[in-house]
């Protein structure tokens, strides 16, 4: 198996089919973290970009503040991983399962201006097979966050038998500026 692992600035890019990482990988993008006011503004700062098909991560960590893990496309499996962030920190159009993962919300770093968002899924039409499934996951952290907001009109995210601490706001989902609202989420 050829490994296509590129380091671009503070971003790791995985773009190979049939890649398996087992406890080898932990990546933090500290570009705008900790957030200390206007001198360190909130901007996207990827820790990893995954676009290979049949890529699996076991016991890996992804740490950032905004747009931590870009699950671009392809089929991916995350097990016993930790993913941390505050805004859209798991986003993209991958067809992915997150099993027994810790989803750690850093909502307190947003200050008074708003709440965080765990997911921003990007399914463009109802015939696409992509979406995120969170199975037996633990959502913990500080501050408050929505489960997600649709990045595209037909976003699909499922939380199945997952523990949600009080960090998750009761509304669950935010329609964002999506003209389709929540009817497809």
Catalytic positions = 88
∠ CA 155-156-161 to the nearest 5 degrees? 145
Rg for the chain (alpha carbons), in Å? 15
Residues whose CB is less than 8 angstroms from the CB of residue 129 and which lie 6 or more positions away in sequence, other chains included: 95
Q: Are strands 75-79 and 95-99 parallel, antiparallel or unpaired?
A: parallel
């Amino acid at each position: 198996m050829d490994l296509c692992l590129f380091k671009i600035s503070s971003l790791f890019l995985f773009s190979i089919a049939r890649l398996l990482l087992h406890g080898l990988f932990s990546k933090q993008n500290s570009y705008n973290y900790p957030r200390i006011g206007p001198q360190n503004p909130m901007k996207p700062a990827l820790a990893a970009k995954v676009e290979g098909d049949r890529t699996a991560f076991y016991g890996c960590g992804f740490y950032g503040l905004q747009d931590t893990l870009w699950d671009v496309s392809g089929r991916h499996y995350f097990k016993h991983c930790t993913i941390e962030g505050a805004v859209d920190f798991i986003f993209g159009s991958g067809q992915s399962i997150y099993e027994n993962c810790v989803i750690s919300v850093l909502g307190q770093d947003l200050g008074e201006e708003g709440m965080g968002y765990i997911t921003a899924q990007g399914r463009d039409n109802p015939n696409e097979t992509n979406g995120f499934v969170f199975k037996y996951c633990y959502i913990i952290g500080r501050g408050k966050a929505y489960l997600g907001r649709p990045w595209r009109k037909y976003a699909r995210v499922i939380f199945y038998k997952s523990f949600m601490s009080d960090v998750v706001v009761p509304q669950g989902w935010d329609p964002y500026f999506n003209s389709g609202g929540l009817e497809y989420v």
